A and B are shown apart, each in its own frame.
Chain A
Amino acid sequence: MTAPVASNLLSWHKIRPAESLFWVLAVAAFFAFPNDLPLGTQVLTMALFVVALDLALGFAGILSLGHALFFGTGAYLAAFISLGGWHEPISGALLAGCAAGLLALALGPLVVFYNGLPQIMVTLLVMLIGYEAANKATWLTGGDDGLGGIELDPLLGIFRWSVYGQTAYLYALVWLFVIFALARRLIASPFGVALQGFRENRNRMLLIGAPVKWHLIRVYAVSGFIAGIAGAVSAQTAKFVSLNSLSLNLSVDVLVMLVLGGVGRLYGALLGATVYTLVHHFAAEWNPYHWMFVIGGLLVFVVRFARGGILGVLEAVYSRVLAQFRARAG
């Protein structure tokens, strides 16, 4: 496990100035690349999804290979809500997210009960059942063709959904910021510290008397809620939902993003989603099979040589430079 050192466990309540970097860049990108805002929106929704997985996997150690279940649930529900006649976006996304969270809450006992391979299998199987259900219920989901025709009222009654995607980009950015702040707060809370305790040593936490399973179920539900919001925002901004949002492909993609950025660091989630989505976008004209060389190679490389992902490497380099600097000064 690429875990942060124990002394970092309690440091989450301090906000460091470097943390503003991502948000400044995200706002700057809005002005710098007015023609690429749909791509930017995609980056932001994926980042939201990776944050959800980071809470469950990075902080609580729940091995989920089926997180697309909640993303897809949120996406399809947001589409149904809009097609059903409710066009207000924020409440629609919230509703879809809550439904995904409830689904995670219901599945939690089953998932949390297992460890290791059986846990991977249970999350995978439940997702596959959801995928098959969406695939077979063509009258509801459109099956392979996907589901389009999502319409939304202007945001807050003021901002129209423009062709260039300015509203969509800012909408996704605000969602990401709000959810990220909540997730960050959650990690700094005693609940969040307990979760990291389970990840580090489950038996010891049990001996202390912590309600391990109940805590894990709750974080799984929160993670499902966030993934659902991510799916809903993705459906609302893309105005389209496809079966891919419920697939094993997406589940693996989001895992790769998290690992690439750095597991259990929250900002690793943002970094991984950004790098992966952008590289994938610019490699789009390649043969998709060649793209697999890149992903596969990256995964093997990160596990073998760069534990902690990009963020982990940056931190290591930073602390080494700092140490050398201090040694020279002292």
Chain B
Amino acid sequence: MDQVLSATSFIVIYGLSYGVVLFTISVGLVVTMGLMRVVNLAHGAFAAIGGYIAVKLMSEMNVSFPLSVAIAVLIAAAISVVIERLFYVHLYKASELDQVLMTVGLLFLAVASLNLFFGPNALSIKLPEFLAEGVHLFGRSVQSYRLFVIACGAALMLILWFILDLTSFGAKLRAAVDNRGMAEATGINVAQLFSLAFALGSGLAAFGGAVGFAILPLEPMYPFKYLTLVLIVVTLSGFGNIKASAAASVLVGLIETAGRYLFPAFGAFIVYFIVIGILMWRDRRLFLGWVGR
């Protein structure tokens, strides 16, 4: 019984913290894709930039953890605005193939630049002291860092919920996701809204990369390595649906952790199969329709 409890608490805590990091990284992509229908495969690069900047600030300039995360988020958001103006503006009316190609190109450029600035090796980082302690929970010692990440994620979800459901910016955003033409007709400046949302999404990704640096280790291939997971979350949540993306991220985090803990031999299989299953189940009516044809 104790073992079951201990295993469950491990899976829940590690899965939740993993899912929360996934959520912060992918939620920006969910919003921007919902708004502009741009398949942005380079989104993970902003998480990597945020993570690298925060870690470098902490380890080499002795900046405190919260301050370095804040600086990293601001820098990443600023970079994203420049890149959006330079590259993404040309993609809004392009075909999906062109979007994939251009963003894969940006992904390669990001990986090469990360290597150029920060070196090819994965960063080994010490957690700040207040996060490194062990906390006893359900008969098992858990790093307080994990709990901290979960708390950050919960706070973030609350803030996002507040922004989206209770502010006029959120209302405009939801309107533009649902029906862009109609939103424009009522006088909402969708292009400006998008630039804002893009910066916000990149900032969030940077936050995820910075806070989650010990869960998703930083290396130049980072944007490539976690691309699949981010895309899975985006695919499961549908266009622009933030609540669904929170659910999807946590689900993926829990399944991944449970799979690796309980069936290490199967590894990443389980998530892939479940995602394909969910996709088919969600669209089952369409499938049935076409089997009959």
Contact = CB atoms under 8 A, between A and B. Distances in A.
B105 A122 contact: no
Nearest to A115: B96
The 5 closest A-B pairs by CB, nearest first: A299-B105, A296-B108, A296-B109, A289-B115, A292-B112
Interface stretch (B61-69, B133-141, B186-194, B276-284): B276-284
Given A116-B96, A117-B234, A129 B273 contact: yes
A290 to B, nearest CB: 7
B209 interface: no
A103 to B, nearest CB: 15
Q: Is the interface of B mostly helix, strand, loop or mixed?
A: helix
B98 interface: yes
B97 A63 contact: yes
A322 interface: no
A255 B100 CA distance: 10
A287 B96 CA distance: 31
A116 B239 CA distance: 12
Given A293-B112, A303-B102, A63 B96 contact: yes
Interface of A, secondary structure class, is helix
B127 interface: no
16 contacts: A57-B97, A113-B286, A117-B96, A117-B234, A117-B235, A120-B96, A125-B275, A128-B228, A128-B272, A132-B269, A136-B269, A248-B224, A295-B105, A300-B105, A303-B98, A303-B101
Contacts of A132: 267-269, 272
A304 B102 contact: yes
Interface size class of chain A, counting residues whose CB lies under 8 Å from the partner chain: 35 or more
Contacts of B166: none
B272 A113 contact: no
A43 interface: no
A295 B101 CA distance: 11
Interface in B97-129: 97-98, 100-102, 104-112, 115-116, 120
B276 A302 contact: no
Interface string B16-47: 00000000000000000100000100000000
